A = this chain, B = another copy of it.
Amino acid sequence: MTCSADYAPELRSRGYRMTPQRLAILHVLHHSGKHLTPAQVYQKASRELDGLTEPTVYRTLEFLAENGLARPAHMGNGHLAYEIARHKHHHLKCRNCGNEMEVQHSLLEKLYRQLESASGYQLTDSHVTFFGLCPDCQRGE
């Protein structure tokens, strides 16, 4: 069950609490590995923790994202999907077929530095989704 790292101390040190709900959701994100919509998280986590509710899932996902334990990703339709926070990366997604590939953060490092020095902003998020047409869809469409 400690398969998911021990996030509890992390949270407690900031004045937050670890709860069965948060544990279950972290567990689901941790094991899935990929981006999950709130509905998918709710479905899976409900099996682990009976009585879990949708509002809690939405609030928890937002909470985990704010605290760096989960990462929200824009799906392109105006909705978010979440994944457990791991290494920095970005995505390239096909507008046509939805196919998706990962983009190394190193490719954006230079740009990030440029933006920071040019704007004075400190860039916090490292999980951008770029949209385009995949090789396949460029031909047949």
Contacts and interface: CB of A to CB of B under 8 A. Distances in A.
Interface of A: 72, 74, 78-80, 92, 94-95, 101, 103, 107-108, 111, 114-116, 118-125, 128, 130-135, 138
A115 B133 contact: no
Nearest to A114: B107
A111 to B, nearest CB: 5
A75 to B, nearest CB: 8
Nearest to A79: B78
Contact of A111 (B108, B116, B118, B133): B108
Contacts of A132: 116, 121-125
B124 A131 contact: yes
Given A94-B121, A101-B119, A122-B138, 5 more contacts: A72-B78, A92-B121, A111-B111, A116-B132, A128-B128
Given A121-B94, A123-B131, A132-B122, A103 B115 contact: yes
Nearest to A93: B121
A123 B130 contact: yes
A95 B130 CA distance: 20
9 contacts: A92-B115, A103-B119, A107-B114, A121-B132, A121-B134, A123-B132, A124-B132, A125-B131, A128-B128
